[in-house]
Structure 1
Amino acid sequence: MRMHRILAHAATDIIKSVFHEHKVLDRCLAQAFEANPKWGKRDRSFIAETCFEVVRWRRALSFLADSEDVEALCAAQWGRMGYELPDWWTYHGASADEMTSREAELPQQARAIRESIPDWLDVLGSEELGASWDSELAALNQRTRVYLRVNTLKTSRLAAQEWLASQNIVTEEVSHLPDALALMPGKTLAKKFRMDGRVEIQDGGSQMIAPLLAPQAGECIIDTCAGAGGKSLHLASLMQNQGRIIAMDVVPRKLRELEKRAQRAHPKHCIETHRIDAQTIVQYKEVADRLLIDAPCSGLGTLKRQPDLKWRLQPETINKVRAIQAEILSDYSSMLKPGGRLVYATCSVLPSENHANTARLLEQAGFRLVEEHTISPATCGYDGFYAAVLTKI
């Protein structure tokens, strides 16, 4: 297969900004595609695959190329993709033939190298997950499919599937997720369909969280860490837009995006937004019938979609989020009425961010554990999630 010089250099520039400037890969790609509207579908696909796979397999590719230079890593990845390296591509590292031969040696390398993660993260994962860390880590390095949640306020799953099919977008129903559709492997959803309001991009694991609240029409539900609102929108759909959903976050920009999405999902929606602070917690004390705390976390369960995250994380980051989670659980839980239902969730696979926080809340008394769920990437193929369901005594 033939490579184009401009596209090859564009990919390396993006990768360097991720590795050296700690930028977010998704955003870098979006900015590059917006700045170069003449790039076709194949061009964008080549750049995206190069960037994601080089970032995902950074250490493994470094072993193959015997170099840490981005140009050498790209050369190793293009070999894996079936490209013959052009004469104009120069780099410092092993030759193409040497890289191919070193593939056979890769399985014998240390796990942190062959699975391409920082040493400290490999140690942490092994300490916390034991023997299951191998399978979870391998699963987190697999490419994920794009999952859609059908907005049942606007359409049904069958109607949404037929609409997408009319636009040459093939989807599959997901049997145990009643509102979910999956795109074919390697396919993405164009912006005009994302902006339509009939479907939302939402991972299968994420779609399991809102139903655990068992929301009922007419209730008041508070989503304390709503972000851009994926779970708030899901809750509104489950409640058939009947009731009150108070979506809170510390970042106003995220709430503004949530408001736009809610307007697309249903013009007359039941979601209101509120920036959360200490005064908010007092103002809404014992107001919520049901409370969702989808807490800030390491995000390690999302490495399938965000492989760049593992290079930005630091040990102190993990320690910081653990402290934030404990504080949030202790403070925000006061907004729940006695007898109300609380769901604490993270998109992390680390027990120290998950069960440990649930156990700490239970030690304070006032709550009873109903059930716990661990959504394992190795088992289901989705992002890694954790959710604990509790009731307030």
Structure 2
Amino acid sequence: MLDIKAIRQDFPILSREVNGKPLVYFDNAATAQKPKVVEEAIKNYYETINANIHRGVHTLSQLATDAYEESRLKIQQHVNAKHSHEIIFTAGTTFGINLVANGFGTLLKEGDEVIVSALEHHSNIVPWQFACERSGAKLRVIPMNLEGELILSEYDTLLSEKTKVVAITHISNALGTINPIKEIIIKAHAVGAAVLVDGAQATPHIKPDVIDLDCEFYVFSGHKICGPTGTGILYGKEEWLNKLPPYQGGGEMIKQVTFEKTTYACLPHKFEAGTPNISGGIVLGHAIDYLNGIGFDNIAAYEKELLDYGTARLLEIDGLKIYGTAKEKTSVISFNIANIHPYDIGVIVDKLGVAVRTGHHCTQPIMDFFEIPGTIRASFSFYNTKEEIDILVEAVKKAQTMLS
């Protein structure tokens, strides 16, 4: 059981008003709000230990380095990685996927194949298109059905000895579908393919276990899990990170530099060129501590309540259609109202204090599949309430009346 009232007090922004109405924040799939412990940790870093890391002998540099590396250890433990050097700090999920795809662009060859799915965010499509264009490999796509689930029998058909990489989202940002990720990984490994999992939408709801999943790479963003923007994590198996070339050159990622030749630093520094987002990396550890303090089992159970309640209440509205009705899904509801553009609904409910996301959600292939311009997406977090869902429903009804 969660004390939602107490939890909401941890998030100062939830007490503000928007357009003269109490804020109802249902855009959590885009970014999560930040608790006071995260805000205070950022302030504490800049007021007490602001210094560059790893290369300084003075006290502040050593304190900053210790705090940064302590955060790396927290994240290692959180995802159950075998080694701390398998945890690479990045600027976010998009950066992590680009890092891996860029590396595979040098490993793939003509005739090889990369598999993605119809549920992918653009960030897990475009980098692989780059890699295929560079190498001559071919991009293959696992199709989806009308419920928003992947058609795994088609995945079986796509897999072959040509398959070198499977890049797959754990949870769809647009539909909330939870993919059978472990089954997908096992099947990829059966043909010798490596697997990258886009965990951007999963990590706010699920505590990933990379050893249990046995994926080669797992990427996620800090701002989705109550941490700062511009932060993220790439987990990679040691053997695979050693195979990939550096993504960027500069300070920190080198072992020795001469004008004739440069040798690279060991993991994780090989992929962490330049001065990182030091405060962001440190504070990301605090955000993970906060969520673990609440408990991911508790979060999942409560968000399932919100999903079920929200689904039932929204379906009371005449002409409302939900896109994404998978048997396994998380607390995301994408919907439209008949004969009304989603953008127009979004504008009106915002005037009533309700924040939702409208558009294609960086998943244009999904929208093309359903032959729609986009959806209204309400995404719930553990600090939301059923009363807020009621406010959303009334706001949508009012918008429908105004626009009909």
TM-score for both structures, normalised by structure 2: 0.24
Q: Bigger relative contact order, structure 1 or 2, given CA contacts below 8 A and separation 6+?
A: 2
TM-score for both structures, normalised by structure 1: 0.24
Bigger helix fraction: 1
